[in-house]
Structure 1
Amino acid sequence: MKRFTSKVLTVMLFSTSLIGCAQNNETGSTPEHKTNTEPKTITVYRYGVNLTDEEFQKFFVEPVKKKYPHITLQMIVQDKGKNPEDLLAAGTFPDIIFTSNNTFQAFKDLKVVQSLDEMIKKDSTELKKVQPVIMDSFREYGDRGELVALPFSINVAALLYNKDLFNKFGVEYPKDLMTWDETIALARKLMRNEGGVQYAGFDSTGASLIATQLSLPFVDPKTNKSMIDSPEWIKVYKLINEFYRMQGFNDLKQIGREAFITDQTIAMLPLWADNFTGRFETEYKKGTLTLNWDMVALPNFPEALGTGREANVHAMMLSSLSNNKDDALKVMTYMLSDEVQTAIAKSGRFSTLEGTEFEKVFGAELESLKGKHIEAFFKAKPRKIHTPTKYDQTIVRGLTDAAAEELRKTNKDINTLVREYKEKADKAIAEAIEKSK
């Protein structure tokens, strides 16, 4: 009798278990999957952007190890023998590519980029927090609008100025969001030659960066013809020629960043933040920073005031060749956490997330930014990028700046100049297309 009762109970319990499973399936619930905590080494390939070993430890290794103890991160730095083609040939292509959106196309051409839409839900918390202009810009690189990367930090530019030169010549300091006409008028007041030293009011640093403040395309993606002869591009060349033709500009010993920081012969210079914040902090700590400087928001054309340059983002791409895609994606998405984004903001990198809380703590760890007009960084908002092509960075962008340099040296007729450089660009593009067949 006991044996019979035991069998009946066993059958009843088994049946109840089956019913419970069926009910769970009917309600759509799914059994929980255990997280795979098998030790993994995820490789991160730094290509064409700045990321020091200290930053890699602080922003990647330490927070990831705390969040995912089973993941170990290793950085591979682009160098001789470690170019993308070298890593492909050796079968050691990394899991994550840390680069800027300017080089996305190069990795797409190598066919090593994993589309992320298949792996990340579009309504995921991580993506909802990212500034829309960044996500919209990233999708421009997808052949069908797919997401090809996640952002880490965004680069922002400001107009730096030498306070000592303004004080020396009795000229009022620049203001946030000036028009280019206002900037030209201010620069003219600072064109001086005193004590045998030539000073200039402003250096545009070329044509291509000014063009990004209007999101001007380099190449027509439908025809593969350069667009540097458009009315908008001609407007850019006319603008920079206003500065080039100021009396004494071409008597400067040098132009650009070193003329502003070291020679201190240029009064105003637009610069990406990552081109000066790290250097200024290092020199400040050493006591060798002699430049008395501050900054204002970038000037622009009247129709574009309040916007800066196109989004320039340090980003993470997932390799389609990775054997650790799930864990690599965990690392990438964790870089968008409030914890990591707050840390990078305090260190002087710009968060890619929406929210003034990241602006408020920006540069908190940098002594060289104390007392500076940090708000200037956030008044000229990043612009969505133009529709990119594979020939923008490899061919046309360099030619637009070469044209600007020729204009500076020769004062050639601008219409003639852009026609000649368009012909050079179109010829180079046609040759590249033919070579790829």
Structure 2
Amino acid sequence: MRKLTIVAIAMMMIVLTACSEGNKNGQGAANDNGKAAAQGQDAKAGEAGSDAKQEPVTLKVLRAGITVTETEFNAYLADAIKEKYPHITLEWVEAPEDVEIEPLITQGTVPDIIIASTTAATSDYERLDLVEDLTPYIEKYGVDLNRLKPVVLDTIKTYSPEGKLSVLPLSLNLPVLFYNKEIFDKFGVSYPKDDQSTWDEVIELGKQVTKQDGGVDFIGFDVNGPRNISTGLDLNILDPATGKSTLTSNPGWLKVFNVLKKSYEVPNYIGADGRYQYANDDDIFFNEQNLGMLAFNLAHLIGPLEELRQQGIELDWDFAPFPNFTENLGTNRSANVHALLVTKTSKHKDEAFQVIANVLSDEVQEKLARTGRIPTIQNEELEKLYGADIPVLQGKKIENIFKTEPRKVIKPHEFESDVRKFVDGAAKRIALEGIDVNTAIREAEDNVNKELQTLQTTR
């Protein structure tokens, strides 16, 4: 996904000027109550810091593990605080998305603020004792968390240690079903419907455009692995309370693997070289352009599609709602919140908190929406402005993004990510070796249990 970072920078450079002008012309979408609340917070923040000397402060900000560009950093953080807190300067710390935080600790270069996924912030960084509890700062500066969307507030509270709040949200990353209209037109097949589909329905639709034509292998749809669909059923591999495997005890996993098996059995789906995954290669959709549908998060594809447009390549595509299982239609996956944390090692924690709290202001939230990120505060008017400053989104069915709600998160067991490889391995065996679903699940659970024994003695 490093390619996306470069792409998104190019995209954002174009749109931020327009966004800034829109705000200057008084085109803000926030309602009066929201503005009043924000002004109240500003007043209390000013009061709290009135006795302190406003000496120049430079804060380092690191993006770790998620796609946030330097241009977005400037728009949402650095530039956004210049007028309100002119004594604060933010310094962008560039790092690859797979950055390891431990070397930074040993080198003594831990930043003041980290931009990360909520799960990483509240698990990996908490385990390293890096995360400052924001609870006292929220009270001190009068930040009204009730302005947040309920699912966002629930997510950051659920993942935080009991009695603490580890992060404030940056944006909500929603999943959708992207589809290539040209492929459907080529084979005379109707587009995905604007109402939410089940996974089975999307697989059946994809079957109609999974064909070999003119020497090209067209793939209608790839389920994109177990995790992409399991959170729609609130599944974890390990029971969060007991740490025991749920693979054979929870019937939801049988549903997940049956869907995977059905997708692998579509004629012409498995490639001649044994290829059985396509969705993980993002560029197959926008470069190779032979994938009919892709169920993925918004943040991963908007940038590349805008870059193509700038190059004069207009891919004919659109959105449909993200699929789910029949019993949970109306919702998509567990909530995915990009977040901001203050590190315990920072020498300027108050200023760092003021920076991240400012992201919840009406002005920054509108800028987020207009430039392709989902706001975290409750304001339906902002959803109407989603992507308004991104040309490639003009004329798209933006309303389909918001037809499903993210599901409440369930805080996973600490070893969840360590055993995920065995579930992925089971999917691979079903695809390439044709083993039956029950055997695959049973073998995966055996491997999980063996791994747990090792983890419990080494950590």
Aligned to 1:249, the other structure's residue is in SS state coil
C-alpha contact (below 8 Å) 1:206/1:405 kept by paired residues: no
1:35 CA drift (Å): 4.3
Structure 1 match to 2:17 = none
Structure 2 match to 1:16 = none
TM-score by length of structure 1 reads: 0.87
In 1, distance between residues paired with 2:327 and 2:133? 35
Aligned to 1:60, the other structure's residue is in SS state helix
Equivalent of 1:55 in 72, 75, 89: 72
In 1, distance between residues paired with 2:264 and 2:140? 48
Aligned to 1:72, the other structure's residue is in SS state strand
Residue correspondences, number: 405
Is 1:402 the counterpart of 2:419 in the alignment?
A: no
Q: 1:351 to 1:398 in 2, by over 3 A?
A: farther
C-alpha contact (below 8 Å) 1:259/1:266 kept by paired residues: yes
Structure 2 match to 1:415 = 438
| 1:31-430 alignment runs, 5 A limit | 33-78=50-95, 83-104=100-121, 105-121=123-139, 124-144=142-162, 146-175=164-193, 176-229=195-248, 230-251=250-271, 255-256=278-279, 257-289=282-314, 291-393=315-417, 395-430=418-453
Q: 1:334 to 1:306 in 2, by over 3 A?
A: same
* Residue type of the alignment partner of 1:239: V
What are the Cα deviations for residues 346-388 of structure 1, in whole angstroms up to 9, with x where unaligned?
Answer: 1111111111121111111111111111111111111111222
* Residue type of the alignment partner of 2:424: D
Q: 1:131 to 1:31 in 2, by over 3 A?
A: closer
* Residue type of the alignment partner of 1:370: Q
In 1, distance between residues paired with 2:424 and 2:341? 29
Q: 1:346 to 1:415 in 2, by over 3 A?
A: same
C-alpha contact (below 8 Å) 1:217/1:387 kept by paired residues: no
In 2, distance between residues paired with 1:411 and 1:295? 33
* Residue type of the alignment partner of 1:166: F
Higher mean alpha-carbon deviation, 409-418 vs 420-429, is at: 420-429
Higher mean alpha-carbon deviation, 368-377 vs 263-272, is at: 263-272
C-alpha contact (below 8 Å) 1:193/1:199 kept by paired residues: yes
Q: 1:161 to 1:79 in 2, by over 3 A?
A: closer
RMSD over aligned Cα atoms: 2.3
TM-score by length of structure 2 reads: 0.83
* Residue type of the alignment partner of 1:339: E
C-alpha contact (below 8 Å) 2:427/2:440 kept by paired residues: no
Aligned to 2:270, the other structure's residue is in SS state helix
1:431 CA drift (Å): 1.4
Give structure 2 stretches of 5+ with no counterpart: 1-46
1:426 CA drift (Å): 2.5
C-alpha contact (below 8 Å) 2:369/2:375 kept by paired residues: yes
* Residue type of the alignment partner of 2:318: D
1:217 CA drift (Å): 1.6
What are the Cα deviations for residues 270-301 of structure 1, in whole angstroms up to 9, with x where unaligned?
Answer: 01111100111112111134x32111011111
What are the Cα deviations for residues 124-180 of structure 1, in whole angstroms up to 9, with x where unaligned?
Answer: 554111111112112222332532111001111111111112112221111130123
In 1, distance between residues paired with 2:253 and 2:372? 33
In 2, distance between residues paired with 1:234 and 1:80? 33
* Residue type of the alignment partner of 1:172: S
1:32 CA drift (Å): 9.2
In 2, distance between residues paired with 1:429 and 1:331? 40
1:427 CA drift (Å): 2.1
In 2, distance between residues paired with 1:123 and 1:159? 40
In 1, distance between residues paired with 2:341 and 2:425? 31
| Structure number with larger C-alpha Rg | 1
Give structure 1 stretches of 5+ with no counterpart: 1-29
Q: 1:338 to 1:32 in 2, by over 3 A?
A: closer
Q: Percent identity?
A: 36
